[in-house]
Amino acid sequence: MKKAVRFTKMQGAGNDYIYVDNSLYAIANPEEAAIKLSDRHTGIGGDGLVLIGRPSDTDSADFTMRIFNADGSEAMMCGNASRCIGKYVHDKNLTQKTAIRLATLSGVKTLKLHLDAEGNTKSVTVDMLEPALSCPEQYDETSCGHLTAAFHTFIGTFVSMGNPHFVIFTDDIEHTDLAKYGSLLEHNPAFPQRCNIEFAQVIEKDKIRTRVWERGSGITMACGTGACATAVAAAVTGRAGRHSTIVMDGGELDILWDEADNHVYLTGGAEFVFDGEVYL
């Protein structure tokens, strides 16, 4: 029997997800639900499904996040979705805290909320923890810096922000065939668990235009972890400093790779789009 489930559509820099309070509505098959609900023609439409939960150990975190891509695969982390959760739990009066600990599959992230004059969340800073700059064991270390797709060789930088990213700098980002090469590189044999792909171009000092192909979702308007990975890749290759602005299709994100603790801090807006009810 189908049951009614309340949801909230939210977006951060154009990265749009469907949010469900998992403590009120148990989703028996979130993988299947993500595929159904994310369809922009026959469903709600979005880059995936996010489930907000309550941890069993409240000493370690305030809330939990599970995120499922539009193809049903589960992601480790999403910076834009994390910011939206911060706004969701605060502005819907689930907490009065402005420093929120969020448990994800890639660890507990701290969300710092910035409020407007009315006390609503205007923007959120996420402590994304430390980046990893070497290929993890499940990836092919010998080839994940130089990849070939459709007879083109791409030189990139591998950065993990809790999930894997391959960042490629180019001088002509707007004419890069993101759909073609993003799809091919995501499934490159160097990445047996697939990979997120970013094409980036420095447009002025510490300002980088980035287009993203997300593992499991395809072309998206923005990617928070992808913005962080791009900023880190730009810093380690000498293209930018440790504080940069990443310009994505859906808006700008502020990224600080702090020398003091080696953590990456992601700051950007989060917005409600609409609430609704769907039958699952």
Instruction: Write out the chain's pLDDT in tens, 280 residues.
Output: 789 999 999 999 999 999 999 999 999 899 999 999 999 999 999 999 999 999 987 778 999 999 999 999 999 999 999 999 999 999 999 999 999 999 999 999 999 999 999 999 999 999 999 999 876 665 655 556 788 888 889 999 999 998 999 999 999 999 999 999 999 999 998 888 899 999 999 999 999 999 999 999 999 999 999 999 999 999 999 999 999 999 999 999 999 999 999 999 999 999 999 999 999 9
- What is the pLDDT at residue 147? 86
> Can you spell out the DSSP letters for 252-272?
EEEEEE-TTT--EEEEEE-EE
Catalytic residues: 78, 223
pLDDT tens digit sequence for 137-196: 656 555 567 888 888 899 999 999 989 999 999 999 999 999 999 999 999 988 888 999
If DSSP codes are grouped into helix, strand and coil, which group holds residue 234?
helix
Fold match flag (4-128+268-279 vs 146-262): yes
Q: Give me the residues paired with residue 198 across strands.
A: 167, 212
Task: Give the residue from 244, 269, 226 showing the smallest Cα distance to 86.
Answer: 269
The domain locations on the chain are: 4-128+268-279, 146-262
- What is the pLDDT at residue 144? 62
Cα dihedral value 57, 109, 31, 20, nearest 10: 80
Q: How is domain 4-128+268-279 classified at the CATH fold level?
A: Diaminopimelate Epimerase; Chain A, domain 1 (3.10.310)
Please state, in angstroms and rounded to a whole number, the distance separating the CA atoms of residues 61 and 240. 34
Tokens encoding 186 = 């995501």
DSSP character at residue 132: B
Residue 43's Cβ-side half-sphere holds a number of Cα atoms within 13 Å equal to: 20
Cα dihedral value 208, 48, 157, 238, nearest 10: 20
Please state, in angstroms and rounded to a whole number, the distance separating the CA atoms of residues 118 and 110. 23
Q: Which CATH superfamily is domain 146-262 in?
A: Diaminopimelate Epimerase; Chain A, domain 1 (3.10.310.10)
Pairing of strands 48-53, 218-220: unpaired
The 10 Å Cβ neighbour count of residue 118 is 6
- Note whether 20 and 277 are within 8 A (CB): no
Handedness of CA 234, 163, 35, 102 (dihedral sign): negative
By residue count, the chain amounts to 280
